[in-house]
Amino acid sequence: MTPGRMDDDAAARPVAENAGYLQEQFGQRVAAAVAGLVDAGQIGRHASRTLSPRE
């Protein structure tokens, strides 16, 4: 899979699904750092669908 293809796939998925995947693979703190978030708890809230991204 090419990097461009992975970006397209991630962009097509819901934020909660991407957040959950990152959290499972890397843990909450690393996933937050990858996403550029200061509060690592945001990843967990996105993954559990208790927080929706701003549009």
Over the chain, what is the mean pLDDT?
81
Q: Please count the structural domains in the chain.
A: 1
Distances (CA, A) of 38 to 4, 10, 33: 26, 21, 7
Q: Please give the model's pTM, rounded to 2 decimal places.
A: 0.69
- Could you read off the pLDDT of 5-19 as tens digits, one per residue? 667 777 788 888 888
| Residue 30 maps to a domain | yes
| Residue 55 maps to a domain | no
- Could you give the CA distance from residue 41 to residue 2 in angstroms, rounded to a whole number? 30
Task: Report which of 24, 36, 26 is spatially closest to residue 47, judged by C-alpha positions.
Answer: 24
Q: What range defines the domain where residue 23 resides?
A: 3-47
Q: For residue 5, what pLDDT is reported? A: 67
- Could you give the CA distance from residue 48 to residue 16 in angstroms, rounded to a whole number? 7
Give yes or no for residue 1 having a pLDDT over 70.
no
| Residue 24 maps to a domain | yes
The structure tokens listed for 47 are 């993954």
| Residue 28 maps to a domain | yes
| Residue 21 maps to a domain | yes
